[in-house]
Amino acid sequence: MTKIIVADPDPHSQRQLATLLAERGYEFDAAPDVDAALRPLRESAVDVVLADLSLPGGGGLQLLDQVRERHPETAVVLLSAFGSVQDAVQAMQRGAADFLGKPFATDQVMVAVERALEKSALQRENRQLKTALDDRLRLDNVIGTDPRMQVIFKTVQAVADTRTTVLITGESGTGKTLLARALHQLSDRRGGPFIEVNCGALPENLLESELFGHVKGAFTGAVKDKVGKFEAAAGGTIFLDEIGTSTPAFQIKLLRVLQDRIIERVGDTRTIPVDVRIVLATNKDLEQAVRDGEFREDLFYRIHVVSVEMPPLRERASDILPLAEHFLQRFADEHGRPALRFSDAAAAALVAAPWPGNVRQLENVVERAVVLSRGEVIDRADLPPTLATNAPQAGAAPLPALPPDAPPLPLKQALLEPEKRIIEHALAYCDGNRERAAKVLGINRSTLFHKLKKLGIR
Ligand SMILES: Nc1ncnc2c1ncn2[C@@H]1O[C@H](COP(=O)(O)OP(=O)(O)OP(=O)(O)O)[C@@H](O)[C@H]1O
Ligand SMILES: [Mg+2]
């Protein structure tokens, strides 16, 4: 249904316009000032706004600016009894669909309205086409304009309809779980179940019965048969998260499923074929784990058929603002504040931040800002003050100056103390997670272990 807003403070021309529109069967709202004209736009799509230049509450031009900014698909026709050529030029330059002097002839208004309607329909169509186009380069709700993300999307799209095992690696919070879900949604298995198992959260024996099921009496407490997740995921996808921390015994069992697509319930010798797509994820460097003898090499090659590596957010700065906007829209809607936007300073701070917690951290920061902000703009002050300074290198306190009369130590020895402080800081910063600490320090894990030992840390 076509919807029009008539924002004219003059009751006579208000009535005149209302009659014209009603006669032609258009639905319209009358608005006496700028605020009242904007209100219906927030609630539903409006095709055309007819506004007088002298509209109370800021004037027709201000209304025009606000509509252009927030509702670009709505066309604005300005009217004025005292309008000069300059006003008209200004209005058109600022994006008005038309400008009419008063008094106006009936035909003139209707032609302007019809044209504005066409324009707004065209805008909408363009936008739909554009989103359709964007959708091809996007997975459902997965934002990524960075070239590396685009390659990932293409890979995922290419393999979606196959049963190929997919390994997703990347730091915590980079979107591994989200991508696994998107892969399932894209695949022809989307009608089947998507079952997620965190392999790092359970001790080995429980994990085994969780995944493969067990028969009654298989162990103490196995009072009845239990169907495992592999069987439950039949026809769909099973997502095995944190695969890097699994035990060698479990890895052998997993290898078997991957090779033969059969499982055995714990305590049973019958083999059961399973039709599942297996997606695995880890935030560990599996190649390193293989070198360290923690991860079976044969399993590594088996799951490395198709692998995607989610880049950390700090390496894809062009995704920061699109992601921030995406989260802003979601949280602003959730909190009933649809007009919220970032100030330039806030946007700059977001782009400059190092994001050690990746997209998850950005998501949290945006939600916090939505809750804290007052008014329609999220400013720098609504972002955590530590955002810019939470890079580990910036967090370590500067070294005290050395008194000139202190006897110098051999360099190697002198460097031990600051090295120790830097490593301790990185560990504290990463909540004791050595994997991540090694990463932020830019050294590999075995080097870190070696240093921990040498420096006597913990
Ligand atoms: N590209 C993206 N577009 C939109 N949202 C994203 C994107 N990447 C991540 N997110 C969101 O960020 C949050 C963290 O993502 P996700 O849980 O998938 O990360 P993860 O890599 O699985 O982390 P972990 O290693 O801790 O399991 C989720 O809320 C997810 O929806
Ligand atoms: Mg995850």
Residue 70 sits in the same domain as residue 161:
no
DSSP string, 52-79: ETT-TTT-HHHHHHHHHHH-TTSEEEEE
Taking the CA of residue 178 as reference, the ligand 1 atom at the shortest distance is 18
Residue 194 β-bridge partners: 237
- pTM > 0.85: no
Q: Which two tokens stand for residue 357?
A: 């917690």
Show Cβ contacts of residue 46 under 8 Å, excluding neighbours closer than 6 positions. 3, 4, 5, 40, 71, 74
**Averaged pLDDT for residues 348-375:** 94
pLDDT for the residue 71: 86
Q: Is the CB of 14 under 6 A from ligand 1?
A: no
Question: Is residue 140 in a domain?
Answer: no
Residue pair 392/436 in contact (Cβ under 8 Å)? The answer is: no
Taking the CA of residue 241 as reference, the ligand 1 atom at the shortest distance is 27
How many angstroms is it from 179 CA to the middle of ligand 1?
Answer: 8
Question: Is residue 98 in a domain?
Answer: yes
**Final residue of a domain: which of 134, 167, 182?**
134
Rounded CA separation 397/284 (Å): 29
At residue 422 the predicted structure's pLDDT band, cuts being 50, 70 and 90, is confident
Residue 372 sits in the same domain as residue 412:
no
**Is 80 exceeded by the pLDDT of residue 217?**
yes
Residue 320 sits in the same domain as residue 415:
no
Domain that holds residue 184: 147-311
Residue 130 sits in the same domain as residue 194:
no
- For residue range 109-164, what is the model confidence (pLDDT) as tens digits? 899 999 888 888 887 777 776 655 555 445 678 999 999 999 999 999 999 999 99
Q: Which ligand is nearest to the CA of 360?
A: 1
Rounded CA separation 334/94 (Å): 32
Residue 130 sits in the same domain as residue 176:
no
Q: Is the CB of 365 under 6 A from ligand 1?
A: no
Residue from 152, 171, 360 whose mutation best tests the ligand 1 pocket (most atoms within 8 A of CB): 360
Taking the CA of residue 174 as reference, the ligand 1 atom at the shortest distance is 21
Q: Is the CB of 143 under 6 A from ligand 1?
A: yes
**Final residue of a domain: which of 78, 113, 134?**
134
Rounded CA separation 199/279 (Å): 12
Rounded CA separation 425/435 (Å): 14
DSSP string, 346-376: HHHHHHHS--TTHHHHHHHHHHHHHHH--SS
More confident residue, 433 or 30: 30
Ligand 1, atom 9, residue with closest C-alpha:
175
Question: Is residue 141 in a domain?
Answer: no
- For residue range 65-97, what is the model confidence (pLDDT) as tens digits? 999 888 888 999 999 988 778 888 888 888 899
| Selection from 341, 350, 351 nearest residue 373 by Cα | 341
**Is 60 exceeded by the pLDDT of residue 376?**
yes
Show Cβ contacts of residue 393 under 8 Å, excluding neighbours closer than 6 positions. none
Q: Is the CB of 360 under 6 A from ligand 1?
A: yes
**Averaged pLDDT for residues 15-21:** 91
Taking the CA of residue 180 as reference, the ligand 1 atom at the shortest distance is 18
Question: Is residue 428 in a domain?
Answer: yes
Ligand 1, atom 4, residue with closest C-alpha:
142
Residue 230 sits in the same domain as residue 295:
yes
Rounded CA separation 454/458 (Å): 11
Residue 307 sits in the same domain as residue 328:
no
**Is 90 exceeded by the pLDDT of residue 312?**
yes
Beta strands in 27-182 (DSSP E): 27-30, 48-52, 75-80, 98-101, 166-169
Question: Is residue 268 in a domain?
Answer: yes
Q: Is the CB of 313 under 6 A from ligand 1?
A: no
Q: Distance between alpha carbon 355 and the CA centroid of its chain, in Å?
A: 14
How many angstroms is it from 239 CA to the middle of ligand 2?
Answer: 10
Residue pair 17/109 in contact (Cβ under 8 Å)? The answer is: yes
At residue 395 the predicted structure's pLDDT band, cuts being 50, 70 and 90, is very low
Residue 333 sits in the same domain as residue 435:
no
Question: Is residue 283 in a domain?
Answer: yes
Question: Is residue 43 in a domain?
Answer: yes
**Final residue of a domain: which of 279, 296, 311?**
311
pLDDT for the residue 396: 43
Rounded CA separation 7/26 (Å): 15
Residue 168 sits in the same domain as residue 306:
yes
Rounded CA separation 118/124 (Å): 10
Q: How many Å from the N-terminal Cα to the C-terminal Cα in the chain?
A: 70
Question: Is residue 29 in a domain?
Answer: yes
CB count, 10 Å around CB of 292? 13
Burial of 239 (0-12, 13-18, 19+ CB in 10 A): buried
Q: Which ligand is nearest to the CA of 175?
A: 1
Residue 246 sits in the same domain as residue 259:
yes
Residue 122 sits in the same domain as residue 244:
no
Ligand 1, atom 10, residue with closest C-alpha:
175
What are the residues whose beta carbon lies below 5 Å from ligand 2 (ion)? 176-177
Q: Which residue type is seen at 128? A: Q
How many angstroms is it from 395 CA to the middle of ligand 2?
Answer: 27
How many angstroms is it from 76 CA to the middle of ligand 2?
Answer: 46
Structural domains counted in the chain: 4
Q: Which two tokens stand for residue 112?
A: 């302007």
- For residue range 251-305, what is the model confidence (pLDDT) as tens digits? 998 999 999 999 999 999 899 999 999 999 999 999 999 999 999 999 999 998 8
Ramachandran assignment for 277, one of left (phi > 0), alpha (psi -120 to 50 degrees), beta (any other): beta
Residue 434 sits in the same domain as residue 360:
no
Q: Is the CB of 176 under 6 A from ligand 1?
A: yes
pLDDT for the residue 138: 53
pLDDT for the residue 439: 81
Rounded CA separation 197/241 (Å): 6
User: How does DSSP classify residue 313?
Assistant: G
